[in-house]
């Protein structure tokens, strides 16, 4: 997927516009804005606005509303893994997921902090951030899991980190919570291992492409919803 090399990527969420500064020339992938984060935010926005609109119509009591189980953000607790510059976490905050922690590794923190400062007038507050290495159990414990939502977008690209990622997801999400994943194949080896491990832990639902936001339904990008498998 080709994506813009512009130094600033704009993402409109409801009636507000985030301006995300990226640095494609840095040594860290987390300082670029990756498409799956935008795809994930706009998918949720599409159905949040659609369901809100249908609630005001007379047929709302008899018409099923898609994805309502994902859209009740009130009072919910969330964490984003590998948030990079922060577009997904900031976008979901604007959609009502207000109790969210954005996490990434140390080298990415300056880019994240820069973007949170840049967008504070839009966000209206400082969002919570935390350094997190997926294999650091002490850091995971400090975050005080479990979470109702674990958010991740474009985080599967190094085979060696996949096991740690899946373990972190499992440790952080509650038994009744959801992992919301924006996904694109970056490495065939990482892709194969990731889904093998996920199938052992999670019930996996792939969102149909027709359900993505029509302006953000990139051919290579997908959205998945995962829940923990419960023991019989």
CATH of the domain at 144: 3.40.50.150
119-170 pLDDT tens trace: 999 999 999 999 999 999 999 999 999 999 999 999 999 999 999 999 999 9
8 CB-near residues (< 8 Å, 6+ apart): 19, 20, 21, 22
Instruction: Give residue-wise pLDDT tens across range 107-120.
Output: 999 999 999 999 99
User: Quick check: is 58 in a domain?
Assistant: no
pLDDT of residue 141: 98
Cis ω before 106 (30° cut-off from 0): no
Q: Are 204 and 198 in contact (CB under 8 A)?
A: yes
**Of 100, 42, 85, 77, nearest to 223 (Cα)?**
42
In a domain, 23, yes or no: yes
| Cβ atoms 111, 140 nearer than 8 A | no
Give the pLDDT confidence score for residue 232 in this predicted structure. Answer: 63
- 167 in a structural domain: yes
The CA distance from 155 to 108, in Å, is 13
Range of the domain at 151: 8-52+65-228
* Residue 194 in domain: yes
pLDDT at 62: 56
CA–CA distance, 169 with 156 (Å, rounded to integer)? 13
**Structural domains in the chain (count):** 1
Query: Is 59 inside a domain boundary?
Result: no
Q: Note the pLDDT of residue 34.
A: 84
Query: What pLDDT is recorded for position 31?
Result: 75
Residue 191 in contact with residue 220, Cβ under 8 Å? no
pLDDT of residue 1: 38
**Is 2 part of any domain?**
no
Q: Is residue 57 part of a domain?
A: no
pLDDT at 185: 95
Segment-wise mean pLDDT, segments of 10 residues, the chain, 232 residues: 72 96 70 90 94 61 76 95 96 97 95 96 97 98 98 96 98 98 96 98 97 94 96 69
| pTM assigned to the model | 0.93
Whole-number pLDDT of residue 114: 95
| Alpha carbons 93 and 179: distance in angstroms, whole number | 16
pLDDT at residue 28, as a whole number: 64
Rounded to whole angstroms, the Cα distance separating 56 from 50 reads: 10
Residues 232, 230: Cα–Cα separation, whole Å: 6
* Residue 144 in domain: yes
What's the confidence (pLDDT) of residue 63?
Answer: 63
């Amino acid at each position: 997927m080709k994506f813009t090399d512009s130094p600033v990527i704009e993402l409109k969420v409801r009636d507000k516009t985030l301006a995300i500064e990226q640095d494609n020339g840095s040594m860290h992938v987390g300082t670029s804005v990756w498409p799956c984060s935008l795809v994930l935010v706009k998918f949720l926005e599409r159905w949040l606005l659609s369901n809100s609109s249908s609630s005001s119509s007379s047929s709302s009591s008899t018409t099923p509303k898609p994805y309502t189980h994902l859209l009740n953000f009130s009072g919910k607790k969330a964490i984003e893994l590998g948030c990079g510059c922060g577009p997904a976490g900031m976008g979901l905050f604007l959609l009502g997921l207000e109790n969210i922690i954005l996490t990434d590794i140390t080298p990415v923190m300056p880019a994240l902090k820069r973007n949170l400062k840049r967008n504070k007038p839009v966000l209206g507050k400082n969002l919570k951030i935390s350094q997190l290495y997926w294999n650091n159990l002490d850091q995971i414990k400090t975050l005080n899991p479990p979470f109702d939502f674990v958010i991740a977008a474009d985080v599967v690209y190094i085979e060696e980190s996949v096991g740690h990622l899946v373990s972190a997801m499992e440790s952080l999400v509650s038994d009744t919570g959801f992992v919301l994943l924006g996904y694109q194949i970056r490495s065939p080896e990482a892709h194969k291992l990731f889904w093998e491990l996920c199938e052992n832990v999670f019930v996996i639902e792939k969102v149909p492409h027709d359900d993505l936001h029509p302006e953000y339904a990139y051919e290579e990008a997908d959205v998945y919803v995962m829940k923990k498998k419960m023991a019989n």
